[in-house]
A and B are shown apart, each in its own frame.
Chain A
Amino acid sequence: AQSVTQLGSHVSVSEGALVLLRCNYSSSVPPYLFWYVQYPNQGLQLLLKYTTGATLVKGINGFEAEFKKSETSFHLTKPSAHMSDAAEYFCAVSEGPFSGGYNKLIFGAGTRLAVHP
């Protein structure tokens, strides 16, 4: 079975500061990993994903994440926070296409990012 743990339900940073949102996963098969952002009363928008290949993945809005198999982590970072980054962020894992099933996404509990002036 797969699971995702996001450390810190709330993270607060100053505008211009580094953003670090932590995600650890558990998977018995090579995982596909995702970060999504959700703004209030909206659906989810894909920030970035890791499938295979390069372990440092760059996404939209200046975000990036690094897949570290030895640490079973996929932390999300952004060098300089912007006020518009304030939102809920979800890390998710799926089994990938070579396992059975339909690529079900298992989500972490989410981290709410607040950005202060």
Chain B
Amino acid sequence: GAVVSQHPSRVICKSGTSVKIECRSLDFQATTMFWYRQFPKQSLMLMATSNEGSKATYEQGVEKDKFLINHASLTLSTLTVTSAHPEDSSFYICSARGRARTDTQYFGPGTRLTVL
């Protein structure tokens, strides 16, 4: 299947700093990318959906000013956690889908964020 990468795989930062997470589709053009958050031993919660060249659509309860999403190209989307706090510590997973709405979502390996 298609390959989606995330970088970094693990990041530790101090409270108040910003952290950028990259999500790349390596062998296909990802028209749509999704960002999920997963708390320990829980399911994935969709945070936002981004389409290349458009503003992201955020799910209810997700602060758009805190979780900045940029989808500038068909192979790259970034999630920036601004002014991170310990409660932002989580596992962040992206997924990418091709042009057709019937295309499968392919998931990245995830990024473990720890805010001290």
Contacts and interface: CB of A to CB of B under 8 A. Distances in A.
A joins B in a complex: yes
Contacts of A42: 109-110
Given A36-B107, A43-B93, A43-B109, A104 B43 contact: no
A80 interface: no
A99 B30 CA distance: 20
Contact of B43 (A46, A49, A96, A108): A108
Contacts of B44: 44, 90, 105, 107
B107 A103 contact: no
A11 B102 CA distance: 31
Contacts of B4: 43
B49 interface: yes
Contact of A103 (B1, B43, B93, B101): B101
A97 B110 contact: no
Contacts of A103: 32, 97, 101, 105
A107 B104 contact: no
- Range of interface residues on chain A? 20 to 34
B106 interface: yes
A114 interface: no
A107 B43 contact: yes
Interface residues of B, number: 28
Contacts of A96: 101
B46 interface: yes
Given A102-B32, A103-B97, A103-B101, A44 B107 contact: yes
Interface string B25-38: 00000001010000
A51 interface: yes
A46 B100 CA distance: 18
A109 B91 CA distance: 15
A55 interface: no
Interface of B: 1, 4, 6, 32, 34, 42-46, 49, 51, 57, 91, 93, 95, 97, 100-102, 104-110, 112
13 contacts: A41-B110, A43-B109, A44-B44, A44-B93, A46-B105, A96-B101, A97-B102, A103-B101, A103-B105, A105-B105, A107-B43, A107-B44, A109-B43
